[in-house]
Structure formats: C-alpha cells, structure tokens
Amino acid sequence: RAGADWRLFVEAIENLRYSEWPVDIERARLWYEPHLDRIHEDSEVRRADLIQLEQIAAGYPSRERFLTELTLDPPDATSDQAGVPLLDEDYLILTTIHSAKGQEWKSVYVLNVVDGCMPSDLGAGTSAELEEERRLLYVAMTRAKDDLHLMVPQRFFVHGQAAKGDRHMYASRTRFIPERLLPMFERTTWPRAAAVQASSASRAPPIDIGARMRGMWR
C-alpha cells in the first residue's frame, strides 16, 4: 500500500530540485494534500494553512529569504474559521452608546459619567448640543433591565501609560445628575477613601524628612 505513495514522494522530491521559487511550495502542497484527510481530523483547517503558507512564500524573492524570516519571526498560531460562540454566564459585552440603541441587557455599567465625557467637551458648545448629550446619557441608562451602574471616577490620568508619569486631574459628576437627584441613587465607593486613609495613617511610621535630606549631602 505504501509503495505507490513512496514512488510519488520520491518523484515530488526529485521535481523540487528543478522547480523555481515559489513553485516548489505549491508542488509540496499538492503532494501532501491527499494525505490530510487520513492524518488529521481538522483537514480543512490544515489545507487552508498550507494555502496561506504558499501565498506568504510568494512574497519572498527566494527560499533562503523565506526560511530565514520564518525562523527569526515565526507566527504564534494560525486562525481557524469563526464558529459558534461559547458564552458562559460571566461574559461581557462592550459597546458605545450609539451602538446600544435598541438593545437591552440585564445589567449595564456606564463608564465615565463625568463632565468632559457626559457631556463631551466637544458637545457642550450650544444648548442643542447639550440636550443631545443629555439624551445620550438617557439612552445609556435605559438599556438596563435590572441593574444600572453609573461609574464616576475620582480622577483621570493625563497619560494612559505609567512610563509617562502619574499626572492626573480630578473629575466631577456629570451636570445631568444634580444634587437633588442623588437620593434616587445608591452611592458606593471602592475602596472607601476614608477607610483607606485611616488605615494607611495608622500603619505608616513617622518620617524625618529633614534627617533624610541632611543624610543625602554628607
């Protein structure tokens, strides 16, 4: 049974000695394809990988250049066709307010409910723009069926990367939720600022800054 396959294998290797680049990649694929169904359960995925490899190889001027690049920078994996999503009970949907129109979820978290975001700095120029921003917040809040969480960060960092420093600004609650409406909300903080400050103050040892400064110049 293996005799015929062996003969074809020897012929394929012999032909590779005389084929031009990147035709030899195609020749190798054509020899290997008939064996995919017998060797691999995911034969279609393997076949697609080989075709993709052949297409990538066509972008290199020589076999040596292709193998060098593939050795120095190999791919981590190849992607399969998208299948049926596997969702458990703890998955999260990220969406913009505009994309959420007409949608409804059991629990909704609205991020950055502060002035500068709601309303946006670019949407606070006229009364009409402010009303449009107010309507967007209303749309966001009414997407929740059971639980609604409005996130009000205490501060915004100027740079999103720690390497650029920790410059920040304090954020204020959106003007669309004035003080008179706060009794309608349950206000929670995490961690509670007062408890953290008290705990830190009780544990921190006293520091003699003057002594440290004098020690630096000895």
pTM over 0.75? The answer is no
pLDDT at residue 191 tops 80: no
Report the CATH number that the domain containing residue 156 is assigned in CATH: 3.30.160.800
pLDDT of 16-32, one tens digit each?
Answer: 777 788 888 888 888 88
Alpha-carbon distances, residue 117 vs 122, 123, 130, 134, 201 (angstroms): 9, 9, 12, 11, 34
C-beta separation of 114 from 171 below 8 A: yes
pLDDT at residue 128 tops 70: yes
Residue 58: predicted pLDDT: 87
Q: What is the mean pLDDT of the chain?
A: 81
Q: Is the peptide bond before 119 cis (omega within 30 degrees of 0)?
A: yes
pLDDT at residue 210 tops 70: yes
Residue 210 belongs to a domain:
no
Domain that holds residue 17: 2-72
Residue 211 belongs to a domain:
no
Phi and psi angles of residue 112, each rounded to the nearest 5 degrees, phi first: 55, 55
Question: Structurally, how many domains does the chain consist of?
Answer: 2
Model confidence band, residue 151 (pLDDT cutoffs 50, 70, 90)? very high
